[in-house]
Structure 1
Amino acid sequence: MTRLLPILLALLAATFPAAASAEVRMSFHSFNGSVLFGRYPHTFIVLEGTLDETGEVVNENYGFSAKRATTAVLRGPVEHEIMIEKPKYLTSTNRHFTVPLTDAQYRRVIAEMEAWRDAPGKYYSLDTRNCIHFVGTMAQIAGLKVNYPKKMLRKPKKWLNHISALNPQLGAKRIK
């Protein structure tokens, strides 16, 4: 038994770093899109990892969009939705950077997503409440510096490159 005790203690100690490394990571994606063909340019978040407190596995993504892509978007607020991308679509997007979240930050991200999703009425506005504003709100929850230059409000990739530059600690490379 005395020979087994050090081995058991080593195995037990080896389990603690794994538990301590549990975390959820939030990645920030853009899709180039096309105003004329297919999908419009878009930005969204991807949440992956494990909650430290419960061990629950997280694999989710959320983006904010107009419910219908019509010219009504150009005239003012329209009905909105939270979009969830299919896994195969994620591989064709630009991953700009990833940040770790505490369990508390993860819960705040989910609560904020639900608030945007469940807002009554017409909540999507191309210039004041679009996918960039949604993703920016999530970035602020993660402690990132965010602003919304008017010339970037319809250019998700350019805007996320801008956010990368505002937050050099991310070490994110500019995506062309």
Structure 2
Amino acid sequence: MIRFLTLLLSLASLGWSLPAAAAVTMSFHSFNGSVLLGRYPHTFVVLQGTLDSTGQAVNENYGFTAKSVSTRILSGPVEHDISIEPPKYITSTNRHFSVKLTDAQYNQVVAEMKAWRDAPGKYYSLDSRNCIHFVGRMAQIVGLKVDYPQNMLRKPKKWLNHITGLNPQLGAKPIG
């Protein structure tokens, strides 16, 4: 009996010393924007954590934007880019909700970002392919319900609040 208890305690202590499961978290952010401050409303995703399969640290963020801001944006598609935000900017944004990714989902998010980034020609359209559509695609990859009401296509914060409402399983609340 003593041997059994010793073995049981040894096995239990091994379980306690195992490292915590790794994971990458994707957070969905919006920025209110201000023409006076030179930043327009925007939405993007932040990926942080560690890949389960390799232990690789992940600290990335992606947003979809026009390569240059001008009045041409109002008249049709323009050249596009993926924006990477500095850490100090991220802390001043609204984090609406976060989800855990599997390694496969993380790889799919990165592949999708590259497809948007590397698409030839003029791919950014204020009304049909903007930062909201990009972030919506990232949300779909992780199984979230997404739609694009016309009256929200230029209002990232309002749109992410809408997505929060479509996905009650997130346990998130709209941001005021």
> Quick check: TM above 0.5?
yes
- Give the 3-state SS of the residue equivalent to 1:129 in structure 2: coil
**Cross-structure match for 1:12:** 14
Whole-Å Cα distance in 2 between the matches of residues 77 and 163 of structure 1?
A: 25
Unaligned runs of 5+ in 2: none
1:89-147 Cα distance to aligned partner (Å, 9 max, x none): 11100000000111100000000000000000110000000000000000000100000
Whole-Å Cα distance in 1 between the matches of residues 41 and 97 of structure 2?
A: 18
Cα RMSD after superposing both structures: 1.8
Whole-Å Cα distance in 1 between the matches of residues 35 and 125 of structure 2?
A: 16
**Cross-structure match for 1:141:** 141
% identical aligned pairs: 73
**Cross-structure match for 1:107:** 107
- Give the 3-state SS of the residue equivalent to 2:29 in structure 1: strand
**Cross-structure match for 2:78:** 78
1:30-65 Cα distance to aligned partner (Å, 9 max, x none): 000024541000000000111111111111000000
TM-score by length of 1: 0.92
**Pairing of 1:5-154 with structure 2 (within 5 A):** 9-16=11-18, 18=20, 21-154=21-154
- Give the 3-state SS of the residue equivalent to 1:107 in structure 2: helix
- Give the 3-state SS of the residue equivalent to 1:138 in structure 2: helix
Whole-Å Cα distance in 1 between the matches of residues 9 and 116 of structure 2?
A: 51
Whole-Å Cα distance in 1 between the matches of residues 36 and 169 of structure 2?
A: 36
Whole-Å Cα distance in 2 between the matches of residues 10 and 55 of structure 1?
A: 24
- Give the 3-state SS of the residue equivalent to 2:165 in structure 1: helix
Amino acid at match of 2:113: M
Question: Aligned pair count?
Answer: 173
TM-score by length of 2: 0.92
